[in-house]
A and B are shown apart, each in its own frame.
Chain A
Amino acid sequence: MIYEVFLKKDGRDEYRHAGALEAANDELALVLARESYLRRAEGSRLWLARRDHIIEGGTDFVAPNADKPHRHHDGQAVAAHRKQVREDRS
Chain B
Amino acid sequence: MTRSWNTMEDFEAFLNDGGIVEVDDAMPEDYRKAVFTFIEMHANSELMGGLTERDWIPKTPGLRHKMSVLAKTQDEIGHGHLLYMVAADMGIKTRTEMLEDLFAGKSRFHNVFHYKAETWGDQVAIAFLVDAAALASQQAVFKNCSYGPYRRILKRIISEEGFHMRLGEDRMMRIANGTDLQRELFQGALDRWFWPSLQLFGPDSKPGDLLLRWHIKSERNEVLRDRWVQKFVPLLQSYGFSVPCPDLTQDEDGRWDVGPIDWEPLKATLAQGGPDSKRRIEQAARNWERTQWVRTAMDELAVPA
Q: Counting CB contacts under 8 A, is B173 at the interface?
A: yes
Cβ contact within 8 Å between B71 and A85: no
| Contact partner, B170, options A12, A73, A85, Cβ 8 Å | A73
- Confirm or deny: A71 has a beta carbon within 8 angstroms of a beta carbon on chain B: yes
State the CA gap A77–B70 with chains docked (Å): 22
Q: Is the CB of B235 within 8 A of A82?
A: yes
B interface footprint on A3-27 (CB within 8 Å = 1, 0 otherwise): 0000000111010000000000000
In the complex, whether A53 has a CB less than 8 A from a CB of chain B is no
Shortest Cβ gap from B61 to chain A (Å): 15
Interface residues of B in 81-116 (CB under 8 A from A): none
Is A11 a contact of B163 with CB atoms below 8 Å? no
Within 8 A of A (CB), among B170-196: 170, 173
Counting CB contacts under 8 A, is A40 at the interface?
Answer: no
**A78 x B71 contact (CB < 8 A):** no
Contacts of B286 in A (CB 8 A): none
Interface size of B in residues (CB-CB distance below 8 Å): 24
The complex places the Cα of A74 from the Cα of B166 at a distance, in Å, of: 8
Q: Is the CB of B151 within 8 A of A73?
A: no
B287 to chain A, nearest CB (A): 24
Q: Are B70 and A75 in contact (CB under 8 A)?
A: no
Judge whether B238 and A73 touch: CB under 8 Å.
no
User: What residues of chain B lie closer than 8 Å to A70, measured between beta carbons?
Assistant: 64, 67-68, 70-71
Interface size class of A (residues with CB under 8 A): 10 to 19
Query: For residues 67 through 90 of chain A, which have their beta carbon under 8 Å from a beta carbon of chain B?
Result: 68, 70-75, 77-78, 81-82, 85
Across the interface, do A73 and B173 meet the contact criterion of CB distance under 8 Å? no
Residue B20 lies at the interface, judged by CB distance under 8 Å to chain A: yes
- Set A11, A75, A78: member contacting B20, Cβ < 8 A: A11
CB distance from B73 to the nearest CB of A (A): 11
Is B18 engaged at the interface, CB distance under 8 Å to the other chain? yes
Mask, B4-34, CB within 8 Å of A = 1, is 0000000000000011101000000000000
Which residues of chain B are within 8 angstroms of A73 by Cβ–Cβ distance? 68, 163, 166-167, 170
Q: How far is the CA of A70 from the CA of B71 in the complex (A)?
A: 7
Q: Across the two chains, which residue of chain B brings its CB closest to A14? A: B152
* CB of A36 to closest CB in B, whole Å: 22
A51 at the interface (CB under 8 A from B): no
Known A-B contacts A71-B71, A81-B238; the reply to A12 vs B169 at CB < 8 A is no
**Distance in Å from the Cβ of B79 to the closest Cβ of chain A?**
14
In the bound assembly, the distance between CA atoms of A11 and B75 in angstroms comes to 27
| Assembled-state Cα–Cα distance A39/B64 (Å) | 54
Confirm or deny: B148 has a beta carbon within 8 angstroms of a beta carbon on chain A.
yes
Q: Find chain A residues with CB under 8 A from B18 CB.
A: 11
The complex places the Cα of A68 from the Cα of B67 at a distance, in Å, of 10
Q: Which residues of B have CB within 8 Å of A77?
A: 170, 173
Chain A contacts for B67, CB-based, 8 A: 70
Question: Which B residues lie within 8 Å of A12 (CB)?
Answer: 20, 148, 151-152
Give the residue name and chain of the B residue nearest to A9 (CB).
B20
Q: How far is the CA of A21 from the CA of B234 in the complex (A)?
A: 59
Known: A73-B166, A78-B169. 8 other contacts (CB 8 A): A12-B151, A14-B152, A68-B71, A71-B75, A75-B166, A77-B170, A78-B166, A81-B173
Return 29 A-B CB contacts under 8 Å, by A number: A11-B18, A11-B19, A11-B148, A12-B20, A12-B151, A14-B152, A45-B2, A45-B22, A68-B71, A70-B64, A70-B67, A70-B70, A71-B71, A71-B75, A72-B163, A73-B68, A73-B170, A74-B166, A75-B166, A75-B169, A75-B170, A77-B170, A77-B173, A78-B173, A81-B173, A81-B239, A82-B238, A85-B234, A85-B238
Interface pairs A-B: 3 shortest CB-CB: A70-B67, A75-B166, A71-B71
